[in-house]
Amino acid sequence: MTELPLFDLETRLGRLSDVDRDIGSLAAGGAGCLFATFVLFVLNSTLAVIPLIGFLAVTGYGWYAHQAETARALTFLATASTILILGLITVYVFVEALPVLQRMGVRLFGFTEPVEVFGVTLIPSVESYWSTSQHVYSLIPMIWGTFVTTLIATAIAAPLGIAAALFLAEIAPPLVRETVKPGVEILAGIPSIVYGYLGFVVLNTFLYENLEMANLGSLFLVGLVIGLMALPTVVSVADDALTSVPDAMRDGAVAMGLTEWQTMKSITLPAALSGVSAAVLLGIGRAVGETMAATVILGHSQVLPDPLQDVFDNTETLTSLIASQYGNANGLHMNALFTAGVVLFVTVLVLSIAARRIELRMDRKLGGGQ
Amino acid sequence: MSYTAESELVVDNTSTAERLASAVVGLGLVTFVFSLVGVTQVVTAETTILGISLYDFLAGGLLLMGVGTVSLGIGSRTGVFNTSPDATPGAVTAALFGLGAFALAGLVASQSLGLGTVGWLLGATLVGGVTFAGVALAPEDIGSTLPPGVAAIGVAVAILAGIITPAFAWEPEGFSATLTGSMAIPLLLAASTLVTMWGGAKAYEGYGSKGRQTAAYLLVGINAVSIIAVLVALLLFIASKGIGPAFEGFSLVPFEWPFVTNGYSFRPEVVNGVFPAIMGTIWLVIGAVITGVPVAVAAAIFLTEYAEQGRFVGAVEIATNGLWSTPSVVYGLFGYAFLIPRLGGTTSLISGMLVLGFMLMPLCLITSREAIKAVPDEYRDASAALGVSRWETIRSVVLPAAMPGILTGVILGVGRIAGETAPILLVMAGGLRDDAPNVLGSFEFISSPPFVANDALLESAPALPYQLYATITAGVSAENAAAFGWATAFVLLVVVLSFYALGIASRLYFRRRLNA
């Protein structure tokens, strides 16, 4: 029924004729059928197929009789489905996580020592971080693992990526740029499992032998591999941000007698800063959500490294926790894995909204200046 | 008389300095490349060049560079070389050199001299502080050549004199790793070479803002070239490992390519292949395109052609970006919780298709929207002026014009989802198999709802990325397992990167045609 206002444009002519009434009933019928299909599917009933056939029939007749209006209604439905899918993901991941969220409460982020501020216990202690037999689940080791790998990956991808983007966008001759840029974009497509395989078969043993490590697999290697993986993406997006800075700004600086490098440092980079930081945030988002490389490289132990800063120790990240344990998980254990999903989902959503905000500001700034 | 003579003298002197500086940079490039290769242990201390062991050879080069850089600085200060340095090298340079000196001095004090925490901290702070103050106060030519030159000479002497040998081992406290000499020496050489080259490049242009530009360009260029070299080396490495097993038993006439046309049969006499996985990936892509692309294009049409900027569009944009950035493993969890119980209760091909379709949707929506936006308004106006209705305009003018852009987006999106492993892991699984999923042949009509059944869609199917993961979990130590994995990785890489290459090529082609 919500589609009805859409037809205002058509009804504006004021002719509430039979045709309009026909369209109105069609829209109501189609919407009703679709809604019934959705409800029945969510209720897990095979009967969902009956209203689906009804919907298809209504759409088919609508397409035959009133193509323009039907097309408009269908495109609206498609648009609304983006919100619906995000809503479904949010609801289902949260609902599955709920039993453990209720059971653990703030202790989901608990340490083995209680967290106290001025003698007030903020987070009570947990007996162990991750025990499937006692159903004690604290995400702290995994959050630490994700944090450390993301930090290492960003420390590699951000400075090197931005510098390479600067080279591509500002320094390289056009011919080099035109051949290298597509190459970098293709390299951005290397699937993460391939990096993971390389890390698992080659790099793990290489570091184990050459750094005389105590164990195979380390947060350090995961961070290194993810950083390498995120590099082409950061280069490509940062390059786009740099090239979108209007030439007039550069010309002004050069006319003032600045060298090209000074122009880059003091004009181009600051002007593109928001776009470049959006590129970095994007890279961070990718690093946080990267699953396969971490899963195959790490040795999976759900404890904090001892001592904490030991990045060569073997712990776990949020993503690799899910990927390595879903197979033998059920009941509360599976719900616990969903809490890791919730933390990931929320983190990346916040990052994405921040990146979007920054990008919009950049558009306004550069667009408004012209 | 004197004027011409002097001028000639100046030209001559400048070129001497330039030649010296180019020698430093050139030597540096060679040393840097060898050091970088040295980090990967492809060349080690046992490698000899002209009868000298590699590390000594590189250290000799570094020593020459150090001496050259120091003489460039001193020559400029004493007026032998004609230069135009600024008053100081700047606070940033001073701070970086100070930090470097702090780290070097700290390592020497704690490791070689064996001082305690207080001792090395005090010594390092002292050396770092003096370096910082010295560089900050010194004229630019001295400040930007002397510290790197001296450091280079120091590092080179330490290696040549055998203070740091491949047997050297430093176990930092609180880390379960040891920095061995065979890793430390190339790393130290590479870092020291970079800084010295920077000083040499500055001297080449006679310091000042031009010198800084040249030096910065050098470092930025080396960085860009190294990144691409590393990534390309990675591709070549995988290809070199994978091509052999992937083309085992290959023949053109009669056409035979067992790795691509066989299944995984567990029989020793037959070449194990990835045919089922390739078919699985193809079905996944087809299913995802059918679910994701029409919805994405329709939504893009609505957003660009019908909707007014408002709260609804804002919400859709947030949702699209949210979907776009949601980690793939969360999609997998969603599929596990929502789709699997409603589609047969087990991991299945159709769940994989739908989840990948949901992932593909935002990717295609964003690119399709851009493509439709890029259609010039003149097209729409001209069509409207001819009395064509809005929907007819969209169907026969806007969509055809935007089609190349939409297709490009679809191809790039497909490339991305074809390599996804994490969601498949949770909703589809399907390990090493001998037979490919038979989707078309499994359709059946039944009398109870949902009236159509397809067993092939409702059971798990293999897919290339998951197959690679399965190879790892099955253990690469098994006979031929590693080779099978490399070949799978190679095929997966070829499939995914061809999608990317195709998408990018078509984008370039249409962009060029649009601009022409």
Q: For residue A220, is pLDDT > 60? A: yes
| DSSP H or E run through B169 | strand B169-170
- C-alpha B89/C-alpha B135 separation (Å) is 7
- On whether residue B72 sits in a domain, the answer given is yes
Q: For residue A172, is pLDDT > 80? A: yes
Q: Where on the phi/psi map is residue B71: left (φ > 0), alpha (ψ -120 to 50), or beta?
A: alpha
**Superfamily in which the A136-368 domain is placed by CATH:** MetI-like (1.10.3720.10)
Neighbours of B475 (CB within 10 A): 9
Q: What is the pLDDT confidence band of residue A2, given thresholds at 50, 70 and 90?
A: very low
**Do A290 and A233 meet the contact criterion of CB atoms below 8 Å apart?**
no
Query: What are the chain A neighbours of B420 within 8 Å (beta carbons)?
Result: 191
Alpha helices, H only, B326-421? 328-334, 340-342, 349-373, 377-385, 390-393, 399-418
Mean pLDDT of A90-106: 88
Helix-helix angle B208-246:B481-515, to 10 degrees: 130
Backbone angles phi, psi at B328, to 5 degrees: -60, -30
One domain for residues B383 and B462: yes
The CATH number linked to B334 is 1.10.3720.10
Whole-angstrom CA distances from A322 to A229, A300, B394 are 21, 11, 45
HEC profile of A257-275: CCCHHHHHHHHHHHHCHHH
- C-alpha B268/C-alpha B260 separation (Å) is 17
Domain end residue (candidates: B168, B197, B231): B231
- On whether residue B282 sits in a domain, the answer given is yes
Domain ranges of chain A: 4-102, 136-368
- C-alpha B363/C-alpha B414 separation (Å) is 9
One domain for residues B221 and B305: no
Residue (of B149, B155, B230) closest to B188 by Cα position:
B155
One domain for residues B289 and B196: no
One domain for residues B203 and B323: no
- On whether residue B41 sits in a domain, the answer given is yes
- C-alpha B231/C-alpha B241 separation (Å) is 16
R_g of chain B, CA atoms, integer Å:
32
Predicted pLDDT at A8: 55
pLDDT in tens, chain B (516 residues): 444 444 444 445 557 888 888 888 888 898 898 888 888 877 777 777 777 788 888 888 888 888 888 888 888 888 777 777 777 787 888 888 888 888 888 887 877 777 777 888 888 888 889 888 888 888 888 888 888 888 888 888 888 887 777 777 777 777 777 777 788 888 888 988 988 888 888 888 878 888 888 888 999 999 999 999 999 999 999 999 888 888 877 777 777 787 777 777 766 667 777 888 888 888 889 999 999 999 999 999 999 888 887 888 888 888 888 888 888 999 999 999 898 888 877 888 889 999 999 999 998 998 898 889 888 888 889 998 998 888 889 988 888 888 888 888 888 888 888 888 888 888 887 766 767 777 777 777 777 667 777 777 777 788 888 888 888 877 655 667 788 888 888 999 998 888 888 888 888 887 777 666
- On whether residue B316 sits in a domain, the answer given is yes
Predicted pLDDT at B476: 55
Residue (of B217, B448, B84, B440) closest to A163 by Cα position:
B217
CB–CB contact A349 B326 (8 Å)? yes
When CB atoms are compared, the residue of A182, A292, A311 closest to B508 is: A182
- The 3-state DSSP class for residue A136 equals strand
Helix-helix angle A273-289:A219-243, to 10 degrees: 150
CB–CB contact A201 B178 (8 Å)? no
- On whether residue B166 sits in a domain, the answer given is yes
Q: Is B342 on the interface with A (CB under 8 A)?
A: yes
Count structural domains, chain B. 2
CB–CB contact A79 B216 (8 Å)? no
Residue (of A54, A81, A67, A263) closest to B316 by Cα position:
A81
Neighbours of B396 (CB within 10 A): 12
One domain for residues B216 and B285: no
Predicted pLDDT at B14: 57
Domain end residue (candidates: B172, B206, B231): B231
Instruction: Record the tokens describing residue B142, joined without a space.
Output: 């001295």
One domain for residues B444 and B507: yes
Global ipTM:
0.86
Q: For residue A368, is pLDDT > 60? A: no
Predicted pLDDT at B449: 67
One domain for residues B499 and B382: yes
Alpha helices, H only, chain A? 8-11, 18-42, 49-65, 67-104, 140-166, 174-187, 192-198, 204-210, 219-243, 247-255, 260-263, 269-271, 273-289, 292-297, 318-325, 332-368
One domain for residues B403 and B283: yes
CB–CB contact A348 B341 (8 Å)? no
Query: What are the chain B neighbours of A290 within 8 Å (beta carbons)?
Result: 327
Chain mean pLDDT for chain A: 83
- C-alpha B134/C-alpha B154 separation (Å) is 18
Each residue of B44-69: b (16+ CB within 10 Å) or e?
ebeeeeeeeebbbbbbbbbbbbbebb
Query: What are the chain B neighbours of A93 within 8 Å (beta carbons)?
Result: 330, 333-334, 337
**Do A164 and B217 meet the contact criterion of CB atoms below 8 Å apart?**
no
When CB atoms are compared, the residue of A82, A171, A341 closest to B320 is: A82
* Contact pairs from chain A to chain B, CB under 8 Å: 304
Each residue of B406-417: b (16+ CB within 10 Å) or e?
bbbbbbbbbbbb
Domain of residue B202, residue span: 12-89+138-231
Predicted pLDDT at B300: 93
Cα A173 versus chain centre, distance: 34
Q: What is the pLDDT confidence band of residue A17, given thresholds at 50, 70 and 90?
A: low
CB–CB contact B323 A288 (8 Å)? no
| DSSP H or E run through B260 | helix B258-261
Instruction: Record the tokens describing residue B460, joined without a space.
Output: 């798990």
Predicted pLDDT at B170: 76
- On whether residue B449 sits in a domain, the answer given is yes
Query: What are the chain A neighbours of B232 within 8 Å (beta carbons)?
Result: 187
More confidently predicted of A175 and B477: A175
Predicted pLDDT at B477: 56
Mean pLDDT of A177-192: 88
One domain for residues B226 and B295: no
Residue numbers of B between 402 and 441 with CB closer than 8 Å to A: 415-416, 418-422, 425-426
* CA geometry: angle A306, A311, A314, nearest 5 deg: 70
Residue numbers of B between 93 and 112 with CB closer than 8 Å to A: none
Q: Which of B185, B325, B392, B414 to mutate to test the interface with A (most CBs of A within 10 A)?
A: B325
| Beta-bridge partners for A115 | A123
The sign one gets for the Cα dihedral B46, B49, B51, B53 is: negative
Residue numbers of A between 24 and 83 with CB closer than 8 Å to B: 41-42, 44, 46-50, 67-68, 71-72, 74-83
- On whether residue B284 sits in a domain, the answer given is yes
Residue numbers of A between 282 and 301 with CB closer than 8 Å to B: 282, 285, 288-292, 296
One domain for residues B217 and B289: no
- On whether residue B157 sits in a domain, the answer given is yes
* B191 contacts: CB under 8 Å, gap ≥ 6: none
Alpha helices, H only, B44-180? 54-78, 91-107, 117-137, 140-143, 146-160
Query: What are the chain B neighbours of A168 within 8 Å (beta carbons)?
Result: 224
Neighbours of B261 (CB within 10 A): 13
- C-alpha B483/C-alpha B514 separation (Å) is 46
Rounding to the nearest 10 degrees, give the CA dihedral for residues A307, A308, A312, A317: 140
Query: What are the chain A neighbours of B502 within 8 Å (beta carbons)?
Result: none
**Do B48 and B14 meet the contact criterion of CB atoms below 8 Å apart?**
no
Tell me the DSSP string of B213-254: HHHHHHHHHHHHHHHHHHHHHHHHHHHHHHHHHHTTT-BTTT
Mean pLDDT of A126-151: 86
Whole-angstrom CA distances from B477 to A214, B272, B387 are 20, 16, 71
Instruction: Record the tokens describing residue A127, joined without a space.
Output: 């007996």
More confidently predicted of A150 and B408: A150
